[in-house]
Structures are given as C-alpha cells and as structure tokens.
Amino acid sequence: MNFLITLHDTLEMEYCTAELRTLASRGSVVLTERVDRVHGADGATLIEIPIMGTFVVEDGRISRYACCNTDSPIQARFPRHQH
C-alpha cells in the first residue's frame, strides 16, 4: 500500500492498469510479461512500464512472487520517485 501511496504522491497517479502480453508456465513456475500503465485523474497515460514477473504456485496459492523492469522510465521522467 505504501508503494501505491508513493506513486500517487510522486507521479500524481490516480489509477493504474496492466496489459498482460505473455503468460507461460512449467510445473509450478509461471512467467508473465506485462505493461503497467499509470493514469492521471483525467485518464491520460502518464507512463508505461514494461514488467517481467515470475511466481510460484504451491497448494493452489502463490508462494513466491518477483518482478523486475530493466527498462523503467520512472526515474528519468519523475526524479522525485524513489523505489
């Protein structure tokens, strides 16, 4: 929740959306490729963030989740934003 509050405060994010581009799995490991979009109060897209995610499913629940973005434009466009 703190991360979302920071996004709201530093990027003026009102809401965000995620477009799932690729989904692959093998056994209990699932890989996702997506694009997260941060939107302002007027609905305009403020920034697009390409994300690669990995999670592990055990007993029907996500037991581990990690995501990364090596090409994130957040720091360049919004220097006040701190991860």
7-45 pLDDT, tens digit per residue, is 788 778 899 999 999 999 999 999 999 999 989 999 999
Helices (H) and strands (E) in the chain, counts: 2, 4
Distance of CA 10 to the CA centre of its chain: 16
Q: Which residue has the higher pLDDT, 68 or 28?
A: 28
Please, what are the domains in the chain? 2-72 (3.10.450.50)
Average pLDDT of the residues of the chain: 85
- Count CA atoms closer than 13 A to 63's CA, side-chain side: 7
61 pLDDT higher than 90: yes
> Which tokens is 70 given?
């090596």
Instruction: Give CA–CA dist 55/53, Å, rounded.
Output: 7
